[in-house]
Amino acid sequence: MSTIRNRTTLLTATTTALLALALTACGPDGSGTKSSGPETGGTAQDASATASAANTGSTTGTTGGSSTSKSSTGSGSKSASGSKSGSGSGTTTGAGGGNATSDSYAYKHPCSGGQVSVNVTTRDGASSQRVIAVRNNGASSCGLSYYPRVYLDQASAQGGKNVKPLIPSGLGGAPAYPVYAGQTAYAVIDVDPSGATTGTVSGIDELNVLADGDHMPNADTHNFPLGSGALVLKPKLGLYRSTIADAVSSMKAADTQS
């Protein structure tokens, strides 16, 4: 009887111990520790992802900002360079002859009386011929009419005689005769091309020249003495030319009353 009681006691103790062991083994699952583990793991993963995203965003932002800034700086430099280049180009054009020293500029800018000087001399070896020289004293080219407005008169008569020369016919082409800065245009008039000594107009002793009859006012007319004893009969006037020889050739072709 004592033996049975001892066995029962031992069995009970063993059962109790096994039960306690089983509860101990199940305790961690029931405590939620494992459940908490995955949540903790998830939180770490999320934190890692957040940090990664933050790092990526920061890096992207920095790179983008730097690139934008550099691009902006580069663009600004190019713009400044382009502006400088444009300015240089404009200066070159103006100074190099694209406009102010070109024929096209002269066509649009008639010579003014204050821009030119007018001089008249007797041509060597031809006492009846006068060389009219119109010099451009300005800094830009300018345009003259095809020929100067010229008439011969008696100084004391104040316009009473007013003899006009013949000019070449068939005029046309460019709108003006261009004269570059510092250059001279020549026109030649022969006051007695036939060399006649009789039938000439008496009392003529003055040559009046308006460099550009199309644009200059009469107040810009210059008066030059012909000298006493000058013979005037059916005078001829040529067109403006760059040389005296060419101006003489033009004068000889005059056939129309001016």
Domain total of the chain: 1
Q: Looking at the domain assignment, is residue 2 inside a domain?
A: no
Q: Given a cut of 90, is residue 249 above it in pLDDT? A: yes
Q: Looking at the domain assignment, is residue 150 inside a domain?
A: yes
**Where is 236: in which H helix or E strand?**
strand 236-237
Helix, coil or strand: residue 69: helix
Helix, coil or strand: residue 214: coil
Q: Given a cut of 90, is residue 2 above it in pLDDT? A: no
Q: Which CATH number belongs to the domain containing residue 184 in this structure?
A: 2.60.40
Highest mean pLDDT among 2-16, 70-84, 155-169, 226-240: 226-240
Strand partners, 224: 207
Rounded average pLDDT over 115-135: 96
pLDDT per position as a tens digit, 76-116: 333 333 333 333 333 333 333 446 788 999 999 999 999 99
Q: Looking at the domain assignment, is residue 25 inside a domain?
A: no
pLDDT per position as a tens digit, 174-198: 999 999 999 999 999 999 999 999 9
pTM of the model: 0.62
* Per-residue exposure over 95-117, b if at least 16 CB sit within 10 Å of its own CB, e if not: eeeeebbeeebbbebbbebebbe
Structural domain that includes position 204: 113-257
Q: Given a cut of 70, is residue 42 above it in pLDDT? A: no
Q: Looking at the domain assignment, is residue 101 inside a domain?
A: no
Q: Looking at the domain assignment, is residue 201 inside a domain?
A: yes
